[in-house]
Structure 1
Amino acid sequence: MVLLLTLLLALDLTGIKAEPRLEKRSQLALQFADSALDSARDLYKKGEVDACRTALGEVEAGVQLSYDSLMATGKDPRRNPKAFKDAEKSTRQILRRLDSLSDLMSAFDRGAVEPVQHTVSDIHDKLITGIMGKKK
């Protein structure tokens, strides 16, 4: 079951990486991260902690791919904020959902969520800084 889930998630992320339009790739990666978070929650509720950890890794990978894709566009977030603002809102929502999942988990299992929360929070902060920061 775990291997099948991992294979399906990896195929989806590989397909997203093949998207030539970087802003669209960013959007798809965030949708992927959101669905991986749904999977992580469902798997944890079923008691499949290892599969939940794998799904959380996919959440982190999806958010990172989204950010990397936006940075690869070469656009200034202050001048062209739409895609960056959409990503910021999505990462904020993912952070809220990660907090909710962390509250649902036992204290022993929360260690799986904390690194993902840290990564998503860092990316969210970078997006905010890019949009609201001073001109270079």
Structure 2
Amino acid sequence: MMKNYEKLLAGLRSIADSRFGNVTQMADSLDFSQSTISKMLNKKSRPRIDTVCDLLDKLGAKIVFPGENAAAPGCITPEASRVDEVILGMRKLGMDPAAIRDGVLQELSAMFAKNTGQDDEEERRHAI
């Protein structure tokens, strides 16, 4: 059981840093108690299971039991990593959610145009 608890804490720390910049920004973004998250991550308290489940729900996390099929991919694509970088950078700059959304849409559009351009060029080469 402790192995899963340690994995949960490590995962929450990783998400706080990579997706939000830090625990405080994660708590603010999720409208969640920063104190609760910090105490849990620092092993000063163990929140109730419904509190942990609420946090996981807000993060979009999924619990998969043995025998269940996880619908999520087993790895993060380079494109998803790039979008995470864009979001993190914009949050560090203190940009509002609408500006972050617009920035992500621009980045996705640029990635799509780049990928489409490469595919078109590849198709032209095969056609010759």
- Could you state the TM-score of these two structures normalised by the residue count of structure 1? 0.26
Larger radius of gyration: 2
Give the TM-score, by structure 2 length. 0.27
More helix by share: 1
